[in-house]
């Protein structure tokens, strides 16, 4: 019985540091993915302000499902059709900031919530609005792409 107890104790002592190191690497990997997704959200917001169809085409999955605040649903092709090429500057003076971004990871899928503020001037009218978005990102072919999005104005 003493031999069994000693074997269990030795196994535990030897395995504990390896397990802790593995958990530490997983936490660092999770933080790295979270930072990557926060950066992609920044790129997405910037591309939307600039109406940069090339960047949006890269970030959005071909299967994108976008739900507008009014409940209307559109796809990638429909959304891109409303964007100007990057060479054509937008007529608005819009700005956006991602005020709060939260990332929830589920393997190769992530749910990201974004509270953003949009402001600027369009047709000589100043505006400032906050929106709450829920984005679903999936890692496809080695890169993260947005597959679903829903946006609502914050009241």
Tell me what pLDDT residue 144 has.
98
**Tokens coding 82:** 């409303």
Tell me what pLDDT residue 91 has.
52
Q: What global pTM score does this model have?
A: 0.77
Residue whose C-alpha is closest to residue 113's, from 138, 149, 81 = 149
**Structural domain count, the chain:** 1
Tens-place pLDDT, residues 87-123? 555 555 789 999 999 999 999 999 999 999 999 888 8
Tens-place pLDDT, residues 11-60? 554 555 554 455 556 666 999 999 999 999 999 999 999 999 999 999 99
Range of the domain at 51: 2-153
* Distance (Å, whole) CA 62 – CA 76: 6
Which phi and psi (to 5°) does residue 89 adopt? Answer: -65, 150
Report the C-alpha dihedral over residues 97, 136, 73, 60, rounded to 10 degrees.
80
pLDDT reading at 151 higher than 90: yes
Tell me what pLDDT residue 26 has.
63
Q: What is the three-class DSSP state of 152? A: strand
- Starting at the edge strand that comes first in sequence, how are the strands of the sheet with 95-106 ordered? 73-75, 60-67, 143-153, 125-140, 109-122, 95-106
Give the domain CATH number at 136: 3.10.450.50
Q: How many other C-beta atoms lie within 10 A of the C-beta of residue 48? A: 19
């Amino acid at each position: 019985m003493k031999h069994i107890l000693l074997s269990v104790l030795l196994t535990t002592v030897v395995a504990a540091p390896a397990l802790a190191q593995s958990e530490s690497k997983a936490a660092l990997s999770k933080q790295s993915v979270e930072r990557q997704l926060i950066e992609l959200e920044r790129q997405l917001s910037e591309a939307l302000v600039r109406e940069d169809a090339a960047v949006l085409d890269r970030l959005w999955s071909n299967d994108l499902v976008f739900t507008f605040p009014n409940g209307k649903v559109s796809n990638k092709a429909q959304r891109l059709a409303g964007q100007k090429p990057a060479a054509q500057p937008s007529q608005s003076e819009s700005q956006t900031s991602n005020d709060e971004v939260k990332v929830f990871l589920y393997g190769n899928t992530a749910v990201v919530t974004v509270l953003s503020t949009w402001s600027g001037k369009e047709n000589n009218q100043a505006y400032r609005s906050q929106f709450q978005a829920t984005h679903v990102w999936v890692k496809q072919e080695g890169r993260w792409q947005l597959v679903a999005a829903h946006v609502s104005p914050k009241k």
